Amino acid sequence: MYNTFKPEQPMSLMDFVRAAKSCVRQITPQALLDKLNAREDLLLLDVREHGEFEMGHIKGAQLVPRGIIEAAADPAYPKHLPELAAARDRQIVVYCATGGRSAMTAAVLQMMGFKNVLNMEGGYTRWVDDGMPQVHEATY
């Protein structure tokens, strides 16, 4: 994957986001809320930073910042997250603030062998704008 880099054609953040979104499936906030209300078996990942998570998040979301997703998902890594590493066949929904980081996360998880990964369209910003329920609690 990294061997395709061409210094004469550097990519921007939005190039990475567009590329990721082109290969991942999306889910709307309403469709996610419906799945949560139906108590579907899914792993909900918030890939924002700690401070963002503490300002508000979706009930039941597990915080795994984008910067550590590969380590958290790799069972061979000593400090992996067991629930995520064991979820290769489980439905996973990923969100961030606006949908970019989570799209890149969903693409990476797919590359790592996760089979059922969805990216929430518009991220937590759209979730809030659509009037969906939020949790506001600090974690330590």
Residue positions annotated with a catalytic role: 96
What is the phi/psi pair of residue 75, to 5°? Answer: -65, -20
> Which tokens go with 18?
């567009």
Q: Can you name the residues that pair with 135 across neighbouring β-strands?
A: 57
CA distance 65 to 68: 6
Number of alpha carbons in the 13 Å side-chain half-sphere of residue 122: 13
- The count of residues in the chain is 140
